[in-house]
Chain A
Amino acid sequence: MKRNLYTIIGLCALTVMLGACHKDKQTTPSDPNTGETFSVTGDQVGRPGIATVFIAAADKDNFNATIPSMMNAAYGAKIQTQLTALNPGYTTNLLGLSAAQFTGVLATDVLNVSTTGTTTYYDGTNVLTGRKLTDDVIDVSLILIFGGPTNAANPTLTSDHVDANDKAFLTAFPYEAAPW
């Protein structure tokens, strides 16, 4: 009786193995994920804070499901409305952009990256050429939203006075600090 049971278990194991082998042959034997499809939208981010600041609560999930090439058409007007609601006195910003021009930059939520030189969100010289771990992206965003053409407007709103991370970054890969 016991021996029969072992035989049955053995046959089952063999069947499972053969089945698995057969399935593997249809894809790639050495790779467990090749050909797998992930089609249920999760989250999507280009630049820091775009969805969170400029997209209304009711639109957030739809914004995550919108491909970047469609974002400007779908959300440009709403983003400009939100920009001028946050700062009713908006004229231009430090980059010299009008509300409409700044909206044009914001609406397509893609991080611009230079592959030939300095990579930074903004360092006083280079604008939107990447995003370093040390970049104070919040202050950059606050300055561009509230600071006006010379960063003299709304002085209490243009820096959160948190200028660096709570742990030092590493100089070598993987760059981020060990967890707390």
Chain B
Amino acid sequence: MKKSKLIIASAAMVLVLGGGILWASDHADAPNTKGKTTDITDLYVFQGANTNDLVFVGNVQGLLSPTATQTAAFDENTLIEFKIDNNGDNVEDLVIQCVYKGGKMYIYGPVKPSQTGTSSTIVGTASVVVPVTAYGASTPVTVTSSTGIMAFAGPRDDPFFFDLDQYHKIIAGTAPGFNNPGHDTFAGTNVMSVVVEVPKSLLNSTGKMGVWLRTAQKN
């Protein structure tokens, strides 16, 4: 029942969005991830309200309508992993690993990975475990670890904004440019979001770092 609803919602979404997405940050970007729990929409990394912290935001499963969000869920088979390079060689020196299990998001690290590259093994025990905030909850559920790591997981408004439809027309040659004002194609849609705020002192940084977000599944 839930699945059929989801399929209807997905089908409706495809109709609304028409002939594919050309530039939606990373929403529904590649054929192998489109419509799956591994599909990343966006990565954000910024200084926290406490400027001693850095905030990592990893969003997946984009373009969720409010109806679709009611049944949207994280996947126990999907790892959401922030990779952090501290020395400019574009190879991860630290990882923050997020794994959903039994209604909670388990967050590991920041920790040195057991190996770099495309296969990821969960290192150590969770730094912080946060219950996933339910859709419709009046306040977001957050947990802070003894080491000062804050965590949130659950549905949020998609923070991305873009007049994708008009861009689409420009690329297709049916419009000469953007409209003013434009229209945010992502207005009214949600994502599944993981937010981790980490004291900078735990990031071994010398001032600059490189970050990328990766999803992977169990074999």
* Chain A residues within CB distance 8 Å of chain B: 28, 30-46, 48-49, 51-53, 57, 60-61, 63-65, 67-69, 71, 108-120, 130-133, 136-138, 154-157, 159-167, 169, 171-180
Q: B120's closest neighbor in chain A, by CB?
A: A38
Q: A120's closest neighbor in chain B, by CB?
A: B46
Contacts of A117 in B (CB 8 A): 47
Question: Can you give 15 A-B contacts (C-beta < 8 A)?
Answer: A33-B108, A40-B216, A42-B32, A42-B215, A43-B214, A46-B211, A51-B30, A61-B31, A64-B33, A131-B43, A156-B178, A160-B162, A160-B182, A161-B163, A174-B152
State in angstroms the CA–CA spacing of A167 and B31 once bound together: 30
Taking A33-B108, A39-B120, A51-B26 as known contacts, 8 extra A-B pairs with beta carbons closer than 8 A to each other, sorted by chain A number, are A32-B102, A32-B106, A33-B122, A53-B23, A64-B29, A111-B43, A111-B212, A178-B140
Contacts of A41 in B (CB 8 A): 32, 118, 216
Q: B163's closest neighbor in chain A, by CB?
A: A160
Q: A163's closest neighbor in chain B, by CB?
A: B161
Contacts of B79 in A (CB 8 A): 38
Cβ contact within 8 Å between A31 and B30:
no
Cβ contact within 8 Å between A176 and B26:
no
Contacts of A49 in B (CB 8 A): 23, 25-26
Stretch of B1-9, B10-18, B49-57 at the chain-chain interface: B49-57
Cβ contact within 8 Å between A38 and B57:
no
Interface size class of B (residues with CB under 8 A): 35 or more
Cβ contact within 8 Å between B125 and A31:
yes
State in angstroms the CA–CA spacing of A175 and B46 once bound together: 11
Cβ contact within 8 Å between A43 and B152:
no
Cβ contact within 8 Å between B49 and A173:
yes
* Closest-CB distance, B174 to chain A (whole angstroms): 14
Contacts of A48 in B (CB 8 A): 25-26, 42-43, 160
Contacts of A64 in B (CB 8 A): 29-30, 32-33
Q: Given that A36-B218, A43-B38 are contacting pairs, would A176 and B120 also be in contact in the complex, using a CB cutoff of 8 Å?
A: no
Q: Tally inter-chain residue pairs, CB-CB below 8 A.
A: 288
Cβ contact within 8 Å between B163 and A44:
no
* Chain B residues within CB distance 8 Å of chain A: 21-26, 29-33, 36, 38-40, 42-49, 54-55, 57, 60, 64-66, 69, 78-79, 81, 85, 89-91, 99, 101-102, 106, 108, 116-126, 135, 140, 142, 150, 152, 155-157, 159-163, 166-167, 170, 176-184, 186-190, 193, 195, 197, 200, 203, 205-219
Contacts of B57 in A (CB 8 A): 133, 175-176
State in angstroms the CA–CA spacing of A117 and B195 once bound together: 20
State in angstroms the CA–CA spacing of A66 and B106 once bound together: 26
Identify which of B124, B163, B200 contacts A115 (C-beta below 8 A): B200
State in angstroms the CA–CA spacing of A138 and B32 once bound together: 25
* Closest-CB distance, B90 to chain A (whole angstroms): 4
Contacts of B181 in A (CB 8 A): 161-162
Cβ contact within 8 Å between A130 and B46:
yes
* Closest-CB distance, A30 to chain B (whole angstroms): 6
Contacts of B189 in A (CB 8 A): 180
Identify which of B36, B46, B121, B206 contacts A36 (C-beta below 8 A): B121
Cβ contact within 8 Å between B30 and A109:
no
Identify which of B43, B54, B180 contacts A46 (C-beta below 8 A): B43
Most buried by A among B60, B121, B162: B162
Cβ contact within 8 Å between B33 and A161:
no
Cβ contact within 8 Å between B209 and A115:
yes
